[in-house]
Amino acid sequence: MSDANDPWLIVGLGNPGPEYAANRHNVGFMVADLLAERIGGKFKRAPKAQAQVLEGRIGPPGPLSRRVVVAKPMSYMNLSGGPVSALRDFYKVPLDHVVAVHDELDIDYGTLRLKLGGGDNGHNGLKSMTKSMGPEYHRIRFGIGRPPGRMQVADFVLKDFSSTERKELGFLVDRAADSVECLLAEGLERAQSAYNS
């Protein structure tokens, strides 16, 4: 069983490379970048894993401060499990201290849902993580909504947010980063009641 001194591994899911940077599928990277900014450090290449990481602390000084590793796997989305599993081993992170931040099709744009465990709902990043480690990690699901008309899901998630969506995106990414901090400091139930909409 994990205890308060165990580190947390916050994984923003996305695809590496500038051509994917603003895609809906990369909202996990956006949240990870904002958390890194708040911690006040720069990502560096991870030891023994295909990922970029930043080590630091999240939360107010004192007993609510948590040791964290913020990570962006540098494999493609559908291979995220390998790097995440390697990071978990290297930093000795219990599975219930892993948090995946990812886009979610079945939730309206901008809606957040936090949960522990569960299925992958067709999300290739989660599918890969669950295959590597089992399902009992936290998820912060960032709603992107369903594709319009007959657009294929793969095309939709690999498109940039629309200009209308981008007006709110900064605020929503900020809120998702807040929900990570709340989860670590106050636990899942408090974070769910504050952020699940």
Among 25, 97, 123, 138, the active-site one is 25
Task: Point out which residues pair with 2 in neighbouring strands.
Answer: none
| Mean pLDDT across 92-104 | 97
**The pTM is what?**
0.96
Place of tokens 């989860």: 183
Q: What would the two tokens of residue 122 be? A: 């067709």
Radius of gyration of the chain from its Cα atoms, rounded to whole angstroms: 15
197 pLDDT tier (thresholds 50, 70, 90)? confident
Place of tokens 């569960």: 118
d(CA 167, CA 80): 29
Pairing of β 138-143 and β 112-116: antiparallel
- CB contact burial 141-163 (16+ within 10 A = b; e otherwise): bbbbbebeeeeeeeebbbeebee
Give yes or no for residue 181 having a pLDDT over 70.
Answer: yes
d(CA 113, CA 185): 17
The verdict on whether 123 is a catalytic residue reads no
d(CA 37, CA 131): 31
91 pLDDT tier (thresholds 50, 70, 90)? very high
For residue 137, give the amino acid letter. Y
Task: Tell me what the pLDDT averaged over the chain comes to.
Answer: 94
| Alpha carbon 177 to chain centroid, angstroms | 9
Give yes or no for residue 1 having a pLDDT over 60.
Answer: no
Give kind and range of the element (H or E) at residue 114: strand 112-116
pLDDT in tens, 19-78: 999 999 999 999 999 999 999 999 999 988 999 999 999 987 887 789 999 999 999 999
Output the pLDDT for position 64: 76
| Mean pLDDT across 133-161 | 95
